Structure 1
């Protein structure tokens, strides 16, 4: 069984990576999942204004749990065993580090943040599957209409 790290930021693009992993499961990939959310460290302004550091940490953890909720529901519905983790730090560094610490065999990652995906690909010791952000499908007739309009414009 393949232990798969699914980094999620709560976006629809990141959730597409979970859908891709589930699609691979229908094609025979047997996996367990580790859902990972990486929160940014608190900014100096937050630290200065907050009366209690635990309050900041709690809010950050709660935001991370919220970002993982949709993926947890999808995996629960599909019967995929999973665990969740919320950490603080640099996103790319934490993805690479947690994949290693947690003994993951694969990282399935949405490709919306080129900076993060490039760093993860460069430094990961396990395979990284990038899931592209898919644009809405365009019908061939729509393209033909656009070409006709472009050719009808005066030059």
Structure 2
């Protein structure tokens, strides 16, 4: 069985990666999908540590990650493809590479752009970084 990692951020491009995996499964290839959302923590948490309770911020980021995964999960559920979901905190390219290089992941399928103007720039560079350094094949979806 093919284990595919799909990073999702809630954007249309990320959902096109999910749709690509669904078409791949429909062609007869048995697969399972790992949906991954990477939330970037605050840049300088030590500046507010002890002054501000950062737990609400962590909870908000977790909720954003869950929301970004929800539509992709619904599509996979409707198609009958087995999947898991995970929200991780860290730098997107590094986290995606780490997850992709796990022994049980065979391929990454990801969109080339994120959801907003800044995210398009950042996620585009994330896609390039993952594609150029992951230890597994990476399929980029426009």
TM bucket (normalised to shorter chain) is 0.7 to 0.9
Partner of 1:71: 72
User: 1: CA distance between counterparts of 2:34 and 2:2?
Assistant: 11
| Structure of higher CA gyration radius | 1
Partner of 1:28: 28
SS class of match (2:101):
helix
Task: Tell me the matched-pair count.
Answer: 132
Q: 1:70, CA displacement in angstroms? A: 0.2
User: 2: CA distance between counterparts of 1:95 and 1:109?
Assistant: 10
Partner of 1:115: 125
List per-residue Cα deviations over 1:78-132 (Å, max 9, x = no partner).
1111111101111111111012236211100111233111110111001101111
User: 1: CA distance between counterparts of 2:63 and 2:103?
Assistant: 22
**Using a 3 Å threshold, how does the CA distance of structure 1 residues 95 and 43 change in structure 2: closer, same or farther?**
same
Mapped pair 1:101 → 2:111: no
* TM-score, scaled relative to structure 1: 0.78
SS class of match (2:14):
helix
User: 2: CA distance between counterparts of 1:40 and 1:102?
Assistant: 25
* TM-score, scaled relative to structure 2: 0.85
User: Which is worse superposed, 50-59 or 67-76?
Assistant: 50-59
Higher relative contact order (CA 8 A, sep 6+): 2
SS class of match (2:10):
coil
Partner of 2:135: 125
Runs of 4+ more than 6 Å apart? none
